[in-house]
Structure 1
C-alpha cells in the first residue's frame, strides 16, 4: 500500500469518526417531558445502530480499496482468447499486448497508469479508495456506495434535528460544528448519490465508465455490429453483474 493510499484511507476513517462523535456528543437540547420516555429508549439504540452501520461502511471501504480489482496475470494468457470471444464483435479484433506490463489484454481490460496493472472489465481508477474499480470489486463498490449513502442520510438527519435556529452570534458559536457537519454531509451525499445512480445506469446497460467515456477509441466497440455488444437486457445485465462469481462457477468463464 502506497503512502498516498495510506493517507487517503486514514483521512476517510478519521473524518467518519470525528463526524460521528461530534454528532452524537453535541448537545441538541432537552426533550419535552412528554417525549422523555421515547428519548430515553432511543438514547442507546439509535446511536448503536448508527455506529454499527458506520462500522460496516468503513469495513466495506477498506475491503474495496485493498482487494484485487481483477488484475490480469501473465500466467492466465492461454485461456484469455476463449473467455473473451463475443459473436457480435468482428473477428478482426484481436487481443493486444499491453505496452506497459507486457501481458495480453482480454477484452474490456485496460492498463491503469496509477496501479501499474491491466485490470479486467476496467471501470475507472477511484481516488476515493485509491484503487481501481474492476471485475472483482465493482459489485462490492456498489454495495459500499449504498451503505455509505444510508449513513450520510442518517447523519444529515441527526445534524439537522440538532439545529435550533436563532439570530445571535452566541447561537452560531455553539452550533458551528453542527452547521459545518451538515454542509459537509450534504456535499458528500450529493457526490455519493450521483455516483451510485450513474453506476447503476451503466450496469443496467452492461457497460463501464471507461467504455461509456471512450467509446470511439476502443477497438472492440468500434468494430462491433451493435452499439453495445454486451447488452443482454436490464434484468440479465444486473443478474450477471451482481452474481458474477456464481456465473463463473457455473460455466467456467468470466461474464462479458
Structure 2
C-alpha cells in the first residue's frame, strides 16, 4: 500500500503581534508625556478662560469713590475733572469708563471682550494677558500636531482624504495669527502703562488732552511690568498723574 510522506515544510506562520513593543517604542519617544502635557495646557487655558470671564474686572461700586478715598486724591486742575457717569451716576475714578454691555463703570478700563463676555479692567487684565499667552502656546502645539499628520502627494486623491485635516490646519493658523497680534499689542500697551481705550480715544479723554506729557502713567518698562503683573491692590491713578508715589486705594 502506498503511503504518503509528510507534507513538505511550508513557510513558518507569522509571529503574533503584541502591544508591548509598540508601547515601549511610544514610551521611548515620550508620546504619553507629550499627550499629557498638551491636555494640561488645554485644561489650563479653559480654567483661565473661566476665571477671566467670571471674575470682577474692577467694577466701581455703586457708592462710587468714598470720602476717605476722595481725600487721598490731590486737587485736579479745572481742565481735568472727574466726571460723574451719566449711566450709573457714580463718580468715576481716573481711567475708569462705563461699559454699556456690562452696565458698570470699570476701573482702568481696557475693552469689553466678546470672547470672554466680560470687561478687561484693572483686576483681570494681567490674567487676560496670561490667558492669551497660554492660548497661543496651545495653538502652536496644535499646529505642530496637524502639520506632522500632513503628507503631501501630487494627486487629488490625497487632498480628498486629508481635506478636513488641511482645513483644520488653516483655521488654527488664522487663530494663531490673531492670538499673536492680540498678545503683542497688549504687551506693548502694558509696557507703556496705557490701555486700549486710552490708546484709541486719547483725543476724547480730558486727563490726556490737557497733560504736559504724552503718557502721565508711564514709569518705565520695568516698573510698568512689575506693577501690572506683580501687584494685586488697586492704584490711585490720580496720584500717579501728578508724578507722586501712588498708594493703594
Same fold per superposition (TM over 0.5): yes
Moved over 6 A (4+): none
Q: Which moved more, 1:117-126 or 1:42-51?
A: 42-51
1:81 correspondence with 2:70: yes
Shift of 1:247: 7.6
1:135 aligns to what? 122
Greater relative contact order: 1 or 2 (C-alpha under 8 angstroms, separation 6 or more)?
1
Return the alpha-carbon distance in structure 2 between the equivalents of residues 178 and 116 of structure 1. Answer: 42
- Is the partner of 2:232 in helix, strand or coil? helix
1:181 correspondence with 2:176: no
Task: Check 1:233–1:252 CA distance in 2 against 1; reply closer, same or farther (3 A cut).
Answer: closer
Q: Tell me the alpha carbon deviations over residues 113-160 of structure 1, each in whole angstroms, 9 at most, x when there is no partner.
A: 111110000001111111110000000001001111110100000000
Unmatched 5+ residue regions in structure 1?
1-34
Return the alpha-carbon distance in structure 1 between the equivalents of residues 130 and 115 of structure 2. Answer: 15
Structure having the larger proportion of residues in helix = 1
Shift of 1:168: 2.5
Task: Name the larger-Rg structure.
Answer: 2
Equivalent pairs, count: 216
1:110 correspondence with 2:97: yes
Task: Check 1:84–1:245 CA distance in 2 against 1; reply closer, same or farther (3 A cut).
Answer: farther
Return the alpha-carbon distance in structure 1 between the equivalents of residues 119 and 133 of structure 2. Answer: 18
Task: Check 1:233–1:173 CA distance in 2 against 1; reply closer, same or farther (3 A cut).
Answer: same
Under a length normalisation based on structure 2, what TM-score does the superposition of the two structures give?
Answer: 0.80
Cα RMSD, aligned residues only: 2.2
Choose which of 71, 74, 77 in structure 1 pairs with 2:59. Answer: 71
Under a length normalisation based on structure 1, what TM-score does the superposition of the two structures give?
Answer: 0.78
